[in-house]
Structure 1
């Protein structure tokens, strides 16, 4: 994992707290986008933030990557942001239930959005991201397509403390209800990539009748893909995943992975910054009554993976 990384985007100030009083009074307001783990998924979101910053150079915008994927580390980051008096924060909460107090402190002092993983019990103003129950149902339908004969499946994810993980599992169970696919286990890895790989390898070694593996977070599916290939179990063990990691897309293209349910992290970044700016500038009338801005998902399979890979390459090259 990388150390905590404070990235100032286009238009960002280079020296907080060093300006003379008269200049400081006119300083640009700051917005922060706090993620849950270091992953390419968030590189895509960064592109959306960069676009928003080009459109609003009067704001400082930054993405913050925690040095470790833990609620404690996010708390420390949020405490630092509050000390800096940031105007707005968007966060993918790692453990919403344990973070309610600190999230409410943020909401009392600045504008708080959640993204990717919601914290509905907090005083956050808006959630921008996927309907994860619906996304889970979509993954469940892909599981049934990949394995119509049924069998044992195993799910892999960073932590079941996050709302997006619980909701995706809920959606998968709803889609599989009454069918012939059984979920044998859910393996967690605390966002440790090496442990995620070991979980996949161990499952393949111990569960000889395992027919399907499902990666619920962006980095899980690439670990599963590599473990299945190294074990020589391509075709024997079906794979369904989430998100658009390059290895996941390669696996879809070569047929090892049946499909992946992709989100739109670019929109997470862009809409979060644009929305925070509107609220900071006094406009709250656009906030939906349900306090959710749902970003649609898409299924990528062998029929459309080539086109999607080209789109992703262009997006990741852009700045």
Structure 2
């Protein structure tokens, strides 16, 4: 009897060891964002969809405690130490993160999204062409202001590649059209400062007739400030991304248009790309290491259809 009990215990222990080994065999992929914002809910939904198609992987979606390069880089160090096999990240400060990115890239495959770090050893960038998105925003402003105007821009990280490229694209599109981008105010993803920046411009710069919100949360703050000042509809606004407030403003005609990206695809395609790479399939990485997911213009004509599609993606429908 004693020997039978011992055998049973050994068998049970063996099953537990095998089960543990199987669990440990799951490779881990991580998607790291640049700040806590509702914008990233779509990317998170894309990662969730990818998880359903990658049962042999454990997918993580991680927010840094704050939107700083130091905390992002520390988070990546923690992920690598915990056994993460590949990382995709939207860099908060690419120019000052090269050494950190290269350190991570020497240990695990590293990819970028949303905000690239092309000077680093990342394997590829998957996301929008921020320059082309900026051009689209500028073209929409030209349509809305055929007689010209003076614009003020608002953004999170002035030095981030996505901000620099969007601003450059916008300037390119408005050149020679009688529209001037007077300045761009940064807020370092501080939502209170984002609102204060708009309030300050409304008081100190009465010559401003148009505004551009370059990050997802900037247009809602512009809306709040214009509404409080009784200037909705008096100042022309072109936005970026698909915050519900932004889409509502486009629908009611308070904003001329918004330029939307496809963060759902970043999350979904990004996880599938990294899984394929770990399995030895590198065919998804083009020679120029840029995988561009197109942006689109949303205006009153297509905002309802876009909103319905957005809702379905977030709900997993």
Per-residue deviation at 1:202?
A: 1.0
Q: What does 1:95-244 align with in structure 2 at a 5 Å threshold? A: 95-244=93-242
Gaps spanning 5+ residues in structure 1: where?
Answer: 1-18
Structure of higher CA gyration radius = 2
- Counterpart in the other structure of 2:271: 273
Structure number having the greater helix percentage: 2
Per-residue deviation at 1:159?
A: 1.1
- Counterpart in the other structure of 1:75: 73
CA pair 20-204 structure 1, distance change in 2 beyond 3 A: farther
- Give me the whole-angstrom Cα distance separating, in 2, the residues matched to 1:100 and 1:312: 34
Note if contact 2:39-2:242 (Cα within 8 Å) is conserved in structure 1. Answer: yes
Per-residue deviation at 1:22?
A: 7.7
Whether 2:20 is the aligned partner of 1:23: answer yes
Per-residue deviation at 1:286?
A: 3.0
Runs of 4+ in 1 over 4 A off after TM superposition: 19-22
Q: Tell me how large the CA RMSD over aligned residues is.
A: 1.4
SS at match of 1:299: strand
Note if contact 1:135-1:297 (Cα within 8 Å) is conserved in structure 2. Answer: yes
- Counterpart in the other structure of 2:303: 305
Q: What does 1:33-48 align with in structure 2 at a 5 Å threshold? A: 33-48=31-46
- Give me the whole-angstrom Cα distance separating, in 1, the residues matched to 2:219 and 2:61: 24
Give the TM-score normalised by the residue count of structure 1.
0.91
- Give me the whole-angstrom Cα distance separating, in 1, the residues matched to 2:143 and 2:191: 28
Per-residue deviation at 1:310?
A: 1.5
Per-residue deviation at 1:144?
A: 0.7
Gaps spanning 5+ residues in structure 2: where?
Answer: 1-15
SS at match of 1:109: coil
- Give me the whole-angstrom Cα distance separating, in 1, the residues matched to 2:106 and 2:147: 53
- Counterpart in the other structure of 1:9: none
Per-residue deviation at 1:148?
A: 1.3
CA pair 202-20 structure 1, distance change in 2 beyond 3 A: farther
Note if contact 1:78-1:102 (Cα within 8 Å) is conserved in structure 2. Answer: no
Give the TM-score normalised by the residue count of structure 2.
0.92
- Give me the whole-angstrom Cα distance separating, in 2, the residues matched to 1:198 and 1:105: 38
CA pair 111-196 structure 1, distance change in 2 beyond 3 A: same
SS at match of 2:36: coil
Note if contact 2:151-2:183 (Cα within 8 Å) is conserved in structure 1. Answer: yes
Q: Output one character per residue of 1:291-311: Cα deviation in whole Å (capped at 9) or x when no partner.
A: 011000110001111111112
Q: Paired residues, what number?
A: 301
Note if contact 1:37-1:68 (Cα within 8 Å) is conserved in structure 2. Answer: yes
SS at match of 1:210: coil
Q: Output one character per residue of 1:111-158: Cα deviation in whole Å (capped at 9) or x when no partner.
A: 111000000001111100001111111100011111111111000000
